[in-house]
Amino acid sequence: MYKKIPTLTDFILEEARKTHDATGSFTLLMNQIENVTKIIASHVKASGLVDIMGKTGDTNSFGEEVQKLDEFSNQIMTDTLIGGGQVHAVVSEEMEQEVYAPEGNSGNYIVYFDPLDGSSNIDTNCPIGTIFSIYRKDGGLLQQGRQQVAAGYVLYGSSVMFVYSAGTGVNGFTLDPAIGSFLLSHPMMKIAEHGEIYSINEAYENLYDDGTKAYLANLKQEGKSRARYVGSLVADAHRTLIKGGIYLYPADSKQTEGKLRLMLEVNPFAYLIEQAGGKAVAKDLQNPLDIMPSHIHERSPIVLGSPTNVSQYISFQQ
């Protein structure tokens, strides 16, 4: 029997109909993000066949090597959003400064994005992704994560998934390559209350604080947990959302403020995990969504996942 499965476009339009003051601008913006990530997905698939795989030989403003696919993804996202008429400005992990839309073509939103998270995995064919976070322009470039209008990510893995929340739960959509549409595959995603998977780069264990070391030692002593770590935030956080458990990228003695960027990486996932019933903490056990950023590329530690797992981690920090 035929069953209609909502597409991402259908879903966004239906959500807009429920909002009495909707203007259509947010719908258009989400449609632009959807379309540009489909293009990136097609290039990710072809990365082993054409000369966009590998490094450009340059570094970005933070001293990180720039991959060719990174460069392409950043350019197409920037051009699409700036030219689309719905954004006031965009901020990318790949660019030191924000980019403003030209006068006369400026919209009501600010979009933060990491065009290709986990790019060190490109040459090894491991999962990578795009992260995005949307704010209203009225609050300016620096806003608390709670002010996000929407946040999400696209995972380029064995299938392509578009996962997002606009404040009414988390929904996941899988790309059907036969028709070129994202179909609702994971409605109202909920993270498990507790999970047995922990995800952290244990090569840095000697650099972590005593509480984190004690937490990891306890997990190993209990013998009930399994370690899984890809090294791509999108892949590791997505698995945590699907399977439950905990993801940790704490500060360490070399990176005292943490490595991940608060507004580009930490806040989108903290928002999504919280919308799915999970928990997130940052520096000094603050909820990252309550931190007022001091600059667009501010860094932050992050621990997120199933509520009981994160609460157990907190108990070792007190």
Q: Is the pLDDT of residue 2 over 60?
A: no
Q: Is the pLDDT of residue 1 over 60?
A: no
* Domain limits, the chain: 8-188, 197-315
**Comparing C-alpha atoms, which of 175, 141, 174, 152 is closest to residue 33?**
152
The CATH number of domain 197-315 is 3.40.190.80: yes
Q: Name beta bridge partners: 226.
A: 197
Task: Name the pLDDT band for 17 (thresholds 50, 70, 90).
Answer: confident
Query: Average pLDDT for residues 58-70, to the nearest whole number?
Result: 66
CATH class for the region spanning 8-188: alpha beta
Residue 62 has a pLDDT of 56
End-to-end CA distance of the chain: 56
pLDDT tens digits, one per residue of 254-276: 999 999 999 999 999 999 999 99
Residue 129 has a pLDDT of 96
Q: CA–CA distance from 86 to each of 25, 32, 97, 123 (Å)?
A: 6, 9, 19, 34
pTM: 0.93
Q: CA–CA distance from 30 to each of 14, 27, 163, 164 (Å)?
A: 13, 5, 12, 10
Residue 65 has a pLDDT of 57
Q: Is the pLDDT of residue 303 over 90?
A: yes
Whole-angstrom distance, CA of residue 318 vs CA of residue 314: 7
Residue 43 has a pLDDT of 87
Same fold, 8-188 and 197-315: no
Q: Is the pLDDT of residue 66 over 60?
A: no
Q: Is the pLDDT of residue 237 over 70?
A: yes
